[in-house]
A and B are shown apart, each in its own frame.
Chain A
C-alpha cells in the first residue's frame, strides 16, 4: 500500500524536524517539509500530497494564498492547521482530516 504523502509547512526547523520524524515513524504516512511558502509551493507541485499541515510561522494571509495555489493544483487536497508542535495532537489531527475524505 502506498504511503499517504503529507506536506508540513513550519518555519521552526527543530519543530518541523520533530513533526516529520513523528509522521514517518508511523510507517503509513510520509512527511515532507517546507520552511517557507515559496518552498512549500515548489514541493507541493513536485508530488501528489493528500494532506497539508500548516504549522508554526504560517500567518492567516499566507495560509489563504497557499490554499488558493494548492487547491488549483489539486482540488482534493486537505489543508489543516497543526497546533501544539509535537506528538500530542498530531496523530488525531491527521486521522481526523483524512477521515473526512471517506
Chain B
C-alpha cells in the first residue's frame, strides 16, 4: 500500500549565515528532528543560496555521494583530487567522497547570488576511492519528458554514483500529464518541485515542496503551471 510523506517548502529547516541562506528538508548541521532524518538513502536535500563572491571554504567529506545541481548562477569547485571546475544551471556535479576528500565551493560571480541544490545519498559501498564527475544536460530535451541525469551505471545516461538511485528532471508545460515508472519497484520516489506547481498521485505540490512516495510502481504527475521537477528514485534499504 502506498505510503507518502509531504514536506512543504515552509516546513524546511532554515539557516541564515548572512552569506549563506539554506533551506534544509532533512536534519542537517545544527538542526535535528527524528522525524526528518532521511528518505531511504536520500539523507540531505539542501536548497542553498550563496551571496556573490562568498562560499564554502575548504572542508572534508567521506563516505557520501554528494550531488550538486545549480539552479541560478555559477559555482566554482576545487578539490583535493586536483579538480577545478565551474558548474552552471543545466549541469550536475557528483562527488563520491569515499575514503576522504577536501573541497571548496564558491560563488564565481562577485555580485549575483548562486542557488543550488546540495543532495547527499548514503553510498552502498564504503571507503571507495574518491571520484568526481560533472555533466552538462542543458541542451538535452527534457520538455514534457523525464531526462535521466544520474544512475548507478557507468554506461548509462547522466552521472553515476555508488547507490541504486536514479534522478530525472523534467520541464512540464501547464496541464501536461505524465507518469514516472520506477526503475525498481522496491524503491521509493522523492519529488522536489524546483519551479511551478504540480499534482503527484493526487497530492498538490508547490514550488520547493518535497513529496516522498513508497510502494507505488508509478507516479502520475500533472503540471498545474509551467513547472520544473526533480524526481529522485532511491532505495529504502541498501
Contact = CB atoms under 8 A, between A and B. Distances in A.
Interface residues of B, number: 24
B43 A91 contact: no
Contacts, number: 70
Contacts of B61: 84-86
Given A12-B60, A85-B61, 7 more contacts: A15-B60, A18-B60, A81-B63, A83-B43, A86-B59, A88-B28, A89-B43
Q: Chain B interface mostly helix, strand, loop or mixed?
A: loop
Contact of A83 (B29, B59, B64): B64
A85 B64 contact: yes
A93 B126 CA distance: 17
Interface in B45-72: 59-64
Contacts of A92: 27-28, 31-32, 37
Nearest to B46: A88
B100 A15 contact: yes
Nearest to B61: A85
Interface in A26-68: 55-60
Contacts of B28: 88-89, 92
B64 to A, nearest CB: 5
Contact of B120 (A10, A60, A81, A84): A84
